[in-house]
């Protein structure tokens, strides 16, 4: 679920890393390539990680710009 909360976004990243580890724990590369369901699940989890990371980057840029505008910065 999309969220503006950076803590939630970080949680999404960690959750999906855990999912990928679970999905791939018992298989080798050949087994992974042969299992379309696992491959698609991993790709979807990577997409969620990528989207959360990009949004966190956008937020970091905005916060940095705001900090630079403060007196004494």
pLDDT in tens, 16-54: 999 999 999 999 999 999 999 999 999 999 999 999 988
- pLDDT score of 70: 63
Identify which of 19, 8, 5, 7 has the alpha carbon closest to the alpha carbon of residue 47.
19
Is the pLDDT higher at 5 or at 37? 37
pLDDT at 1 over 60: no
Interatomic CA distance for residues 46 and 25, integer angstroms? 16
* Domain residue limits, the chain: 6-68
- pLDDT score of 54: 87
How many CB atoms sit inside 10 A of residue 23's CB? 17
Helix, strand, coil distribution of the chain in percent, nearest 5: 80, 0, 20
**Model's pTM, two decimal places?**
0.73
């Amino acid at each position: 679920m999309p969220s503006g909360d950076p803590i939630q976004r970080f949680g999404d990243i960690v959750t999906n890393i855990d999912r990928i580890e679970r999905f791939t724990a018992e298989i080798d590369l050949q087994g992974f390539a042969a299992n379309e369901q696992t491959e698609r699940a991993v790709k979807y989890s990577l997409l969620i990680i990528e989207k959360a990371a990009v949004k966190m980057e956008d937020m970091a840029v905005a916060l940095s710009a705001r900090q630079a505008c403060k007196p004494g910065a």
